[in-house]
Amino acid sequence: MSTPDTREAPVTGEAAAITAAALALGDDALVLSHRLGEWAGAAPVLEEEVALANIALDLLGQARILLSLVGDEDELAYLREERSFRNAQLVEQPNGDFAHTIARQLYFSTYQHLLYGQLAAGDGPFAGLAAKAVKEVAYHQDHAEHWTLRLGDGTPESHDRMQRACDALWRYTGELFQPVDGLDLDHTAMESAWLDSVTAVLGKATLTVPAGPRTGAWAAGAGRQGLHTESFGRMLAEMQHLHRSHPGATW
């Protein structure tokens, strides 16, 4: 009765912010890992099966740690509705051809590397996790950059495919730098570092930095607000179906 709301509110606010941040980062990792898992058995060469699976497994590991910080990992992954997922739209984009997958990897891992680099340097609740993840992500970025060079500066066909992929995914990259509750980061600095890095890689790969806008024209928002693209609902339907068919079961 006498407990003043004013004393509780900041604590709740902070906890809610940490939850929001953990969901944003965790959902990014969970969803991208799922997409990469779809490549199993269909990669362009056997060596790349192993590489893509390594990245998917790193991301799934990150997702499990992040989701477990704020709840039961399986409840969060399997029982939330589409609108409750906080991942950026970039990571839910379908695999497309290998060029699309690599462009998505390039954009995302460059961002994630900067993000975890900043988090690891801080003393927030994600510093410990970020210190480990930043090493994994550095490798993901390296993998994406090497493939971007080879596809961009490979054959005329691979160049065209890679350019198309970079163009198509460009509009999903702006969202990555919107402020996220609970993450005390310098988004402006991250965004300009991201642009520098991606511009340099694309240039080296003889690709053109896409000219279009980096955000969609829809004012309703994007993934971090729980608004997703059409293919995401199907992805979740597939991912959640079995778990939801057996309520309360242990696996």
Partner 1 sequence: MTSDGWPLWEVFVRSRRGLSHTHAGSLHAPDAEMALRNARDLYTRRSEGVSIWVVPSTEITASSPDEKDPFFEPSADKPYRHPTFYEIPEGVKHL
Partner 2 sequence: MTAVTAGTTGTTGAPGVSDGAVAATQAAYEAVFDAAVAADERIEPRDWMPEAYRASLVRQIAQHAHSEIIGMQPEANWITRAPSLRRKAILMAKVQDEAGHGLYLYSAAETLGTSRDELLDKLHAGRQKYSSIFNYPTLTWADVGAIGWLVDGAAITNQVPLCRCSYGPYARAMVRVCKEESFHQRQGYEALLALSNGTEAQHAMAQDAVDRWWWPSLMMFGPPDDESTHTAQAMAWKIKRHTNDELRQRFVDIAVPQAEALGLTLPDPDLRWNEERGHYDFGPIDWTEFWDVLKGNGPCNDQRLSKRRQAHEDGAWVREAAASYAEKHTGKHGEAQA
Q: Interface residues with partner 2 (CB under 8 A)?
A: 30, 34, 37-38, 40-50, 53-54, 56-57, 60-61, 63-64, 67, 73-74, 77-78, 97-98, 146, 149-151, 153-155, 157-158, 161, 204, 238-239, 241-243, 246, 248-251
Q: Smallest Cα–Cα separation from 93: which of 178, 168, 160, 159?
A: 168
User: How far is the CA of 170 from the CAs of 83, 153, 205, 211, 247, in angstroms?
Assistant: 23, 19, 16, 9, 39
Per CB under 8 A, the segment of 39-47, 90-98, 191-199, 223-231 that binds partner 1 is: 39-47
Per CB under 8 A, the segment of 41-49, 98-106, 188-196, 203-211 that binds partner 1 is: 41-49
The SS3 assignment for 38 reads coil
Least Cβ distance, residue 251 to partner 2 (angstroms) = 4
Q: Which does 142 bind (CB under 5 to 8 A by kind): partner 1, partner 2, none?
A: partner 1
Cα torsion angle, 237, 242, 247, 251, sign: negative
Q: Is 140 in the site for partner 1 (CB under 8 A)?
A: no
Q: Is 150 in the site for partner 1 (CB under 8 A)?
A: yes
Q: Residue 48 or residue 74: which is nearer to partner 1 going by CB?
A: 48
Q: Is 132 in the site for partner 1 (CB under 8 A)?
A: no
Instruction: Tell me how far apart the alpha carbons of residues 13 and 204 are, in angstroms, rounded to a whole number.
Output: 45
Instruction: Tell me how far apart the alpha carbons of residues 64 and 47 are, in angstroms, rounded to a whole number.
Output: 26
Both structure tokens of 63: 């997702």
Both structure tokens of 55: 């990245």
